[in-house]
Structure 1
Amino acid sequence: MAEHTSADGQLRDLLAAAVRIEQRVRRAVEARRRTDPQPDDEFRGLYLTQETVRRLLEEGRPFPAPEPEPVPGEALPDIPLAELRREFGLTALDVEILLIALVPDLDDRFEAFYGYLNDDVTRRRPSIGLALGLCGLTPADAAARARLGPYAPLRAGGLLLVEEADRPFLSRALRVPDRVTAHLLGDRTTDPRLADLLAPWHPVEGVGDAKALAGAVDSGVLLAYLREDQGGAGTALAATALALTGRGVLGLDLARLAADPTPVEAVRALVREGRLTGAGLVCAPVDALAREHPALLRLLTDSPLPTVLVGRVPWDAGWSAAGPPLPLRAPRVEPAVRARLWREAYPGPAPLPPDLDISLLLSPFLLTPDQIEGAARGAAQTAALSDGPVAAADVRRGARAQNAAGLDRLARRIEPSVGWSDLVLPADAHAQLRELTARARYRDQVLGTWGMRPGGGRGRGVSALFAGDSGTGKTMSAEVIAADLGLDLYTVDLATVIDKYVGETEKNLERIFSEAAGVNGVLLFDEADAIFGKRSDVKDAHDRYANVESAYLLQRMESFDGLAILATNLRANLDDAFTRRLDLVIDFPIPDADHRRLLWDRALGSTLPRSPSLDLDFCADSFELAGGNIRSIAITAAYLSAASGTPVTMPTLIHAIQREYQKLGRLTLASEFGEYLSLLT
């Protein structure tokens, strides 16, 4: 009820301020009628009479102008119109012209008045010449005309539109935008033009030194740039700082702005909205405009409002004509704050188990405050399907749902379905994989809280090399790590990234790393030796550019903030400078007989029918095969068993082994097949 009362009061005050406009219009109409030879002509405004033409030729005007009336200079009452005058730097004449253009939207009688005064019934808004005349000014008054120029406060601020640009200046129509009219009437609804561009960024406690940024804004700083890494809290920090200054927050999604068909118009509407409502601007991500739309960034940085830009790219001096911004670093959300935000955003109704460690479950993920809130809502939705309490899998699934989709176009996504119990590896390799998982899970504590982050521009990422023959479990191990951390696995075949044209390989890799920066996942580079080979002496152009590719990848891997695993079959081919920069190098040997026996048993599974005579000990002792080959043989044997309708027998298994040997191009030696040599076809 209070809002309606306030709006009614603002309407009364605004109408009271417009009374003098009505008085001006009445005097102008009366003056027109006194000198009009046919004041009641029904077709007035549709044609020119001979008398009108005579007056134009002899007197210079068809009708005398109303007597000049001075523009009032007294202060306006404390209504939104007075606030506009202060915010937009309007003069008393500007306010009078604004009211002249506004009254048709408050009282439809003025449409008829203006049509009559324009001597054209189709032109029902005031023209520039009519507005100047109603203010007692001559059309030749240069100072008065300048108040309606494109850079004058009324038009530059978006408070007044001058339409029909193809007409002479004095006959162009004036119109007040609907949003400005609504604001003056007390409507605080955001401009519908911005509905698809605004982001709901809001203040969040505990995400950095917001007081320092707020103090800078209060001291007169209008432009700041918060540079952040993946999972940074830049938008939350900016919104918190603006809120501390007593301002509202208008969040602009720059990626949506880049796709808008009329972005310049959108930016102007945004700035006007901020000035109308006393808000500051939070704009992110700068990366969306940096390359292809720098002019939009210059338009935003030229705003008279406090503006905080957030992005990951370095600041370019060409983005601001007003000078450099205040440079700040946006922190990541600390683990304790991360858990608090998740719990505050969790909507229920499924209960939260008291032993559910949200902080630990979210530790492998780099999430912004908005993404944390989205993850909490996603966890509630998945828990509702099981009609039980929220489980760890629900928390992780909700966090994975915040991933961007761009990397799916450049890499193959694998949703992990295996665990530690599925791995058959030597104890040392198994222990190193556990250590790699611990690095990913506790990096915030070690590199952030404890300050163990190395210098040299290295990110917070974790990188490892898996080296071993094909089929020894490298990809499966990466999948197990992803499953343990609750992440998706993205596999990239580096052999497909290499391009014969100079510079294209680096571009392909940069696209992958850029998209991976928006994804919480494990990034697996297969066939790493295809590009991470040893740098050689430069003997021709090919050697030089091959070395450039390797050097670029070394640098890019160090600055990557995610979990990257490189797999290679040929460790000896890798550059020593590259392996030195890795956190772990894990060797995957060909399994010994004991491990092969376990692999045979697991590959055949528990549901596949087996003959009692199946001699898996013989298979493990006789055939030196990797786990991938054993798995392939088991699948072939299963198909043969299904076709014959019998359990897997030793002849079936020997036949499947023979087919695998043929695939590998290996000879079938009597020493390997022993007593089963006769079963070969």
Structure 2
Amino acid sequence: METDLLLLAGLPEEHEGLADTFRSMNPRSEPTPTIGLAALLTGDRAGLRRLLAQGPAVRHGMLRLTDGPTFHERGLIVADRLWDALAGHDAWPEHLSRVDVGAVPPGLDGWLALPQVRHAVRALGSADARTLLVAAADETIALSRCAALAHAAGRPVVGVRAAADDRAAITALVAHAAARDAVPLLVVETAGGTGTTGGEAAGGGPARLDLTGVPGPVLVWAPSMALRPAGQRPLLGVPSGPVPVEDRRTAWRAALPGPPGQDAALTARHPLDPALTAAVGEDVRSLSRLSGTGAGPREATETIRCRAGAELPDGVRLSSPAAGWDRLVLPGEPAAQLRDAVARLEHSALVLDEWGLRERARAGHGVRLLLTGAPGTGKSLAAEVIATAAGTDLMAVDVSQVVSKWLGETEKNLAAIFDAAERVQAVLLLDEADALFAARTAISGAHDRWANLETAYLLQRMDRFDGMAVLTSNLRANIDPAFLRRMDFVVEFPLPDEARRRELWRLHLPARPIADDSALDLLASVYPVPGAWIRNAAVAAAFLAAQDGATIRPAHLIKALAREYAKAGRPFPGVPAGIAGDREEQS
């Protein structure tokens, strides 16, 4: 009977003559059939009343009743644009925000074979009411998983973006999905672009999602997964990973066909999710059509860098350094540790995947370094050298802009930074990271409790980070011991000894404009300063010499170095006896 009622309610949409006929029979002159007419046609008034009170078509929003003075004078209408959808047109109510789910990307065969995913596919093929909650941090990845699940179940998928508590939008979504025999997907809308879910509970708690009474399976994804499912409806979690290395290679082969081995190299350089790899491939092919050039690994790297740069929060700078190992002046052991860290990144696919240490030793792909030492000893420069040696970018984070006074904002900032660094496979530099990785304190108030939660979040995110992270600190004792245990390398940067200070002076000063090269040996002997001071003094002395219209003399170097002592608030040792001729100029 419900099918007959839907057909009756939709007849006015088929021809204006039918609309006029129903208007003439409607006591309120509306172009809709009335419940009274439906009762005459069916001959079952009691059954009709029951269906219109609690039948699926009315409960799920497919059939609506207009207002009227009496029950039988009320009109029957089909939900907004549903009649067009039933006729095979891609028609949707204007108030719904459609989500383009997209095609299934190559490289998800291994994921589809996971037990939890196979359960989800079976759930989509069933008529049982069930909520399938997709766990993914990125919307592109989440939508790709929904497309793959529906495709494996032999059904299309249609999506809408709406707040968790927008029952009208959810009802319309389910009705239109049913008209298309499609799986409905609810993408929970964010409030104000902050990453919190729409319909968020007062006080910042999780949004309440109650799909009680909604028929069949419904896919759900929320940006922060801050949802609190309510009611008695069954819930099934769907993971977004893991994705095997071979599947990532398959994704790169499909995105950028090339010579043998290119897919393996791209996977090692950019171990992206297949959904993101497919998007990069589209970008590269689009650029190739515009420029008429090839579509290869270099273009892929540029595209990934462009996408990541557009999503970076404030306080993060993405650069392509060109600092070689010759710029670092370090003792043997610290220098060896830095080279070993780069080698670990280069050989991770061999050791972890081919040799099986990822499973046996539960080893992660990421490499984590802590560089400690006095200011100016070359820690930040070392991060540039590492990025250059690894053939990747450097993502430098201004920790002061990342740490927020607002509860929860620091974690959101960090999540965006870690995600972007993983996509680009940039070396992530958290300079002067003491503010983020400081030792946890005893809880004496809400601020301490939240600070400890931030530290706990960082511990977990560092464990999961699939790239190279470089932390710097001027004092190792400031760092939480739990972070130290998670570091693959802890490298101490000492103050340079006399021999290395001599090397630093010559590194920063080319021979041509120096009047007396032997003075550099004396400067290295007399002034025990860090490398950053030497670099600053060398640059300042060159400008002083240019201002005087002369070559760089010892007087210029000592004057510049004296200013470095003054900046640091330390007493200047004076002019060495070997440069006595310059004493008057210094005074």
Q: TM-score range by the shorter chain?
A: 0.7 to 0.9
Q: Which residue matches 2:416?
A: 515
Cα distance, 1:677–1:496 mapped onto 2, change above 3 Å: farther
Change (3 A) 1:225 1:542: closer
AA matched with 2:528: E
Q: Which residue of 1 aligns with 2:78?
A: 176
Asked if the contact 2:98/2:159 (under 8 Å) is kept, the reply is no
Residues 255, 282 of structure 2: 8 Å contact kept = yes
Secondary structure of the residue aligned to 1:464 is: strand
1:526 and 2:434 matched: no
Counterpart CA distance in 2 for 1:146 and 1:385 is 62
Aligned-partner Cα distance in 2 for 1:542–1:110: 68
Q: Kindly indicate whether the alpha-carbon contact (under 8 Å) linking 1:201 and 1:251 is maintained by their aligned counterparts in 2.
A: no
Q: 1:368 to 1:257 in 2, by over 3 A?
A: farther
Aligned position for 2:192: none
Relative to 1, partners in 2 of residues 1:108 and 1:241: Cα closer, same or farther, differing over 3 Å? same
Partner of 1:424: 328
2:323 partner amino acid: G
- Aligned 8 A contact 1:414 1:489 in 2: yes
- CA deviation vs aligned residue, 1:566-599 (integer Å, no higher than 9, x gap): 2111113444443222221011222344444444
- 1:632-651 equivalence runs, <5 A: 632-641=536-545, 643-644=547-548, 648-651=552-555
> Does the CA-based 8 Å contact 1:467-1:585 persist in structure 2?
yes
C-alpha deviations, 1:433-476, integer Å up to 9, x for none?
Answer: 23333444555665566553589999764422110111222222
Q: Does structure 1 conserve the Cα–Cα contact (< 8 Å) formed by 2:544 and 2:556?
A: yes
Shift in CA distance, 669/226, structure 1 to aligned 2, threshold 3 Å = same
* Cα distance in 2, alignment partners of residues 561 and 680 from structure 1: 52
The higher relative CO (CA closer than 8 Å, separation ≥ 6) is in 2
* 2-structure distance, mates of 1:631, 1:178: 71
Query: 1:210 maps to which residue?
Result: 112
The residue type equivalent to 1:372 in the other structure is T
Q: What's the offset of the Cα at 1:263?
A: 4.3
What stretches of structure 1 of length at least 5 have no aligned partner?
Answer: 1-91, 347-351
Which residue number in structure 1 is paired with residue 251 of structure 2? Answer: 341
**Alpha-carbon separation, structure 2, partners of 1:282 and 1:448:** 35
Post-superposition shift, 1:108? Answer: 0.4
Match of 2:168 among 265, 290, 297: 265
Q: Where in structure 2 are the equivalents of 1:160-199 lying within 5 Å? A: 160-163=63-66, 165=67, 169-177=71-79, 179-188=81-90, 196-199=98-101
- Residue 275 of structure 1 aligns to which amino acid in structure 2? A
* TM superposition score normalised by structure 2: 0.79
Taking a change above 3 Å as real, the CA distance of residues 598 and 647 of structure 1, as seen in their structure-2 partners, is: same
For 2:235, give the aligned amino acid.
Answer: P
Which is further off, 527-536 or 270-279? 527-536
Q: Tell me whether 1:489 sits opposite 2:401 in the alignment.
A: no
Does the C-alpha gap of structure 1 residues 621 and 273 become closer, same or farther in structure 2, counting only changes over 3 Å? farther
1:125 is aligned to 2:32:
yes
Q: Does 1:331 align with 2:241?
A: yes
Q: d(CA) in 2 for partners of 1:543 and 1:120?
A: 64
1:200 aligns with 2:102: yes
Q: Rate the CA distance shift 1:227–1:498 in 2: closer, same or farther, 3 A.
A: closer
TM-superposed CA distance for 1:135, in Å, is 4.8
CA distance in 2, matches of 1:662, 1:673: 21
Structure 2 partner of 1:18: none
Partner residue in 1 for 2:305? 400
Contact 2:6–2:78 (Cα < 8 Å) also in 1: yes
For the residue of structure 1 that corresponds to 2:369, the secondary structure is strand
**CA deviation string 1:19-62 (max 9, x = no partner):** xxxxxxxxxxxxxxxxxxxxxxxxxxxxxxxxxxxxxxxxxxxx
Q: 2:9 aligns with which of 94, 101, 119?
A: 101
Question: Once structures 1 and 2 are overlaid, which stretch shifts more, 390-399 or 635-644?
Answer: 635-644
- The alpha-carbon distance between structure 1 residues 358 and 667, as it changes in their structure 2 partners (threshold 3 A), is farther
| Count of matched residue pairs | 562
Q: Could you say which structure has the larger radius of gyration?
A: 1
Question: 1:379·1:398 contact (CA, 8 Å) conserved in 2?
Answer: yes
- Are the equivalent residues in 2 in contact too, given 1:229–1:312 (CA < 8 A)? yes
| Deviation of the 1:369 alpha carbon | 2.0
CA offset at residue 288 of structure 1? 5.8
CA shift, 1:363, in A, is 2.7
The one-letter code of the counterpart of 1:202 is: V
The answer for the alignment partner of 1:298 in structure 2 is 210
User: Are residues 226 and 353 of structure 1, via their aligned partners in 2, closer, same or farther at CA, if it must alter by over 3 Å?
Assistant: closer
Residues 128, 420 of structure 1: alpha-carbon distance in 2 compared, 3 angstrom cutoff: farther
Question: Which SS does the other structure have where 1:333 is aligned?
Answer: coil
Preserved contact between residue 162 and residue 174 of structure 1 (Cα < 8 Å): yes
SS in 1 for 2:420: coil
Q: TM-score, normalised by structure 1?
A: 0.69
Alignment of 1:373-392 (within 5 A): 373-380=278-285, 388-390=293-295, 392=297
Question: In 2, are the aligned partners of 1:362 and 1:396 still within 8 Å (CA)?
Answer: no
The change in CA–CA distance for 1:239 and 1:445 in structure 2 (over 3 A counts) is farther
**Distance verdict in 2 for CA 1:362–1:640, change over 3 Å:** farther
* Whole-Å separation in 2 of the counterparts to 1:171 and 1:519: 60
1:542-563, Cα deviation, whole Å (9 max, x unpaired): 9986994696367435544244
Counterpart position of 2:561: 657
Unpaired runs of 5+ in structure 2?
190-194
Classify the secondary structure of the residue corresponding to 2:157.
strand
Question: What does residue 434 of structure 1 align with?
Answer: 339
Note if contact 2:368-2:470 (Cα within 8 Å) is conserved in structure 1. yes
The change in CA–CA distance for 1:577 and 1:383 in structure 2 (over 3 A counts) is: same
- Partner Cα distance (2:186, 2:354) in 1: 29
Helix, strand or coil for the counterpart of 1:479?
Answer: helix
Corresponding residue for residue 370 of structure 1: 275
Residue 250 in 1 paired to residue 158 in 2? yes
Paired with 2:187 and 2:356, the residues of 1 have a C-alpha distance of 28
Contact 2:313 2:417 in 1 (8 A): no
1:153 aligned onto 2:56: yes
Q: 2 CA distance for matches of 1:363 and 1:596?
A: 38
Distance 2:20 2:446 in 1: 79
| CA distance 1:308–1:359, shift in 2 (3 Å) | farther
Q: What CA deviation, in whole Å up to 9, does each residue of 1:610-668 have, x standing for no partner?
A: 24545544444443332322332244345445655555444333332222221112222
Task: Identify if the C-alpha distance between structure 1 residues 185 and 543 changes in structure 2 by more than 3 Å, giving closer, same or farther.
Answer: closer
Q: Give % identity.
A: 27
CA gap 1:597/1:355 in 2 versus in 1, 3 angstroms: farther
* Structure 1 residues 620 and 319: alpha-carbon distance in aligned structure 2, compared to 1, 3 A threshold: same
Query: Match for 1:240 among 141, 148, 156?
Result: 148
Q: Which residue among 16, 21, 39 is the counterpart of 1:113?
A: 21
**Alpha carbons of 1:456 and 1:405: their partners in 2 closer, same or farther (altered >3 Å)?**
farther
Structure 1 residue 200: Cα displacement: 1.4
Whole-Å Cα distance in 2 between the matches of residues 542 and 268 of structure 1?
41
For 1:119-141, what per-residue CA distance to the aligned partner results, in whole angstroms no more than 9, with x for missing partners? 555x333344454455556xxx4
Distance 1:330 1:637 in 2: 57
1:414 to 1:295, Cα distance in 2 relative to 1, 3 A: closer
CA pair 267-328 structure 1, distance change in 2 beyond 3 A = closer
Judge which range, 283-292 or 359-368, deviates more. Answer: 283-292
Q: Compared with structure 1, are the counterparts of its residues 175 and 385 closer, same or farther at alpha carbon in structure 2 (3 Å cutoff)?
A: closer
Partners of 2:97 and 2:402 in 1: how far apart? 41
Change (3 A) 1:237 1:95: closer
Answering whether residue 485 of structure 2 is matched by residue 584 of structure 1, we say: no
Provide closer, same or farther for how the CA distance between residues 292 and 133 of structure 1 changes in structure 2, counting only shifts above 3 A. Answer: same
Give the corresponding residue for 1:144. 48
> How far apart are the structure 2 equivalents of 1:580 and 1:96?
69
Q: How far off is 1:372 after superposition?
A: 0.7
> Alpha-carbon deviations, 1:4-26, whole Å to 9, x = none?
xxxxxxxxxxxxxxxxxxxxxxx
